[in-house]
Chains A and B, each alone.
Chain A
Amino acid sequence: MMPNRGATAPEPARRRPRPWGDPLFRSLAAAAAGIFLVLTAAICLELVRGSALSLAKFGPGFLWSASWNPVTQDFGALSSIAGTLVSTLIAMLLAVPLSLIIALFLVELAPPAISKPVGAAIELLAAVPSIIYGMWGLFVFAPFMSDHIQPFLSSRFGWLPLFKGPPMGIGLLTAGIILALMILPFITSVMRDVLRMVPPVVKEAGYGMGSTVWEVARKVTVRYGVRGMAGACLLGLGRAVGETMAVTFVIGNDHRVSASLFAAGNSIASALANEFAEASEPLYLSALVELGLVLFLMTFAIQGLTHAWIRRLERSAGRGL
Chain B
Amino acid sequence: MERRDARGRKAVDFAVRTAASLAALLGIGALIWILTEVVRRGAPALNPAFFTALPGPPGVAGGGLANAILGTMALTVAATAVGVPLGMLAGVYLSEFGRDTRLGAAVRFCVNVLMGLPSILVGLFVWTVLVVPFRSFSGYAGATALALIMLPVVARTTEDMLSLVPHALREGALALGTPRWRTTLIAFKAARGGLITGVLLAVARVSGETAPLLFTALNSPFWPRSMSEPVANLTVTVFQYAMSPYADWQAKAWGASLLIMAAVLTTSLLARTFARERTR
Q: A residues near B, CB below 8 A?
A: 1-5, 7-8, 11, 14, 18, 21-22, 25-26, 28-37, 39-40, 42-43, 46-47, 49-50, 98-99, 101-102, 104-106, 109-110, 118, 120-125, 127-136, 138-140, 181, 184-185, 188, 209, 212-215, 238, 241-245, 248-249, 269, 272-273, 276-277, 289, 292, 295-296, 299-300, 302-303, 306-307
Contact = CB atoms under 8 A, between A and B. Distances in A.
A29 B107 contact: no
B210 A4 contact: no
B119 A36 contact: no
Interface in B79-117: 86-87, 89-90, 92-94, 96-100, 103-104, 106-107, 109-114, 116-117
Contact of A102 (B28, B167, B257): B28
Given A32-B86, A109-B20, A215-B9, A129 B128 contact: no
**Interface majority SS (helix, strand, loop, mixed), chain B:** helix
Contact of A132 (B26, B181, B261): B261
A130 to B, nearest CB: 7
B121 interface: yes
B47 interface: no
A280 to B, nearest CB: 12
Interface of B: 1, 9-10, 12-13, 16-17, 19-21, 23-24, 26-28, 30-31, 33-35, 37-38, 41, 86-87, 89-90, 92-94, 96-100, 103-104, 106-107, 109-114, 116-121, 124-125, 127-129, 148, 151-152, 155, 167, 170-171, 174-175, 177, 179-181, 184, 201, 204-205, 208-211, 214-215, 218, 235, 238-239, 242, 250, 253-254, 257, 260-261, 264-265, 268-269, 272
A184 B257 contact: no
Contacts of B215: 276-277
A22 B38 contact: no
Given A32-B86, A244-B211, A125 B31 contact: yes
A132 B34 contact: yes
A104 B20 contact: yes
A98 B27 contact: yes
21 contacts: A4-B96, A8-B179, A18-B179, A21-B181, A33-B103, A34-B103, A35-B151, A36-B111, A36-B114, A102-B23, A106-B24, A109-B21, A118-B24, A118-B28, A127-B205, A128-B34, A131-B210, A132-B257, A134-B242, A139-B41, A181-B34
Given A47-B121, A125-B31, A292-B121, 5 more contacts: A7-B175, A33-B93, A132-B38, A184-B31, A188-B27
B125 A47 contact: yes
Contacts of A245: 210-211, 239
A7 B20 contact: no
Contacts of B155: 33, 36
A264 to B, nearest CB: 14
A39 B118 contact: no
Contact of A105 (B23, B34, B96, B151): B23
Given A131-B210, A136-B37, A277-B215, A40 B113 contact: yes
Contacts of B116: 238, 242, 299, 302-303, 306
